[in-house]
Amino acid sequence: MTRLSVNINKIATLRNSRGGNNPDLIQVAKDCENFGAQGITVHPRPDERHIRYNDVYELKKIVTTEFNIEGNCQEQKFVDLVLAVKPEQVTLVPDALGQITSNHGWDTISNQDYLKEIIGVFKNAGIRVSIFVDPVVEMVEAAATTGTDRIELYTEAYAHNYLHNKEEAIAPYVKAAEKAHQLSLGINAGHDLDLENLKYFAENIPALDEVSIGHALISDALYYGLENTIQMYLRQLV
């Protein structure tokens, strides 16, 4: 079964808005695991507007499933953090400074040399590496020569087009995933996956290892409750 990693950035955003510790990020991470999540994802940014760097150290102490840290590896502070914490997985995202949310994958062709170097840094530390890519076969092929263990398919385009034509929306993702599987790359996916589009995606993407979901899941939890929501998402992945 495809694993569900819950991104808890939005919990940190809510906490930070009042300056205290409500909601308690650490307790929420524990609860997510107790409610069935198979991983915890965080995406710290340099301005610490949601996940703080200290949060990452504290989460490492208590996460018992898979800890996945996403971020911009072109920021030395991020690299140092990941090497110090040693999560099970690091997901490399080509964010720009001040970017609100991730909005594109790596150009694995033009950034080939850089990716080989930085991926080697993390793998030498014993950390599994995944890199954010768009559903383009050529980018997947070039990803395979960087040394990465996995790719994470950036799914905003799929989610945006799902209601208009789901077969057309998923087609490039199927091709990209098939190529990744042929090249022995693990396959993750994330961004704007939700209760409406997740099941179809998971059913049609071959060898999908993991999805990372934050915004939609936390938003749904406002109505359905966190435990129930996590179970609802898990049922989409069966």
Q: Is the whole model's pTM more than 0.85, yes or no? A: yes
Complete domains list, the chain, with CATH? 3-236 (3.20.20.70)
Q: Where are the alpha helices (DSSP H) in 106-151?
A: 112-124, 137-144
Q: Is residue 104 among the annotated active site residues?
A: no
Closest CA to 66 of 100, 90, 96: 90
Q: What is the pLDDT along the chain (238 residues), one digit of tens a residue?
A: 899 999 999 999 999 999 999 999 999 999 999 999 999 999 999 889 999 999 999 999 999 999 999 999 999 999 999 999 999 999 999 976 655 555 578 999 999 999 999 999 999 999 999 999 999 999 999 999 999 999 999 999 999 999 999 999 999 999 999 999 999 999 999 999 999 999 999 999 989 999 999 999 999 999 999 999 999 999 999 9
* DSSP-derived 3-state class of residue 186: strand
Q: Is residue 43 among the annotated active site residues?
A: yes
Q: Would you state the pLDDT for residue 96?
A: 64
Structure tokens at 231: 């179970």
> Helices 137-144 and 166-182: crossing angle, nearest 10°?
20
Q: Would you state the pLDDT for residue 95?
A: 72
Active-site hit among 33, 66, 152, 191: 191
Active-site hit among 33, 43, 66, 152: 43
Active-site hit among 33, 66, 70, 210: 70
Residues 6+ apart with CB under 8 A from 27: none
d(Cα 149, Cα 144) in Å, to the nearest integer?
A: 8
Residues 6+ apart with CB under 8 A from 104: 94, 134, 154
Q: Would you state the pLDDT for residue 67?
A: 98
Q: Is residue 50 among the annotated active site residues?
A: no
What is the C-alpha end-to-end distance of the chain, expressed in Å? Answer: 6
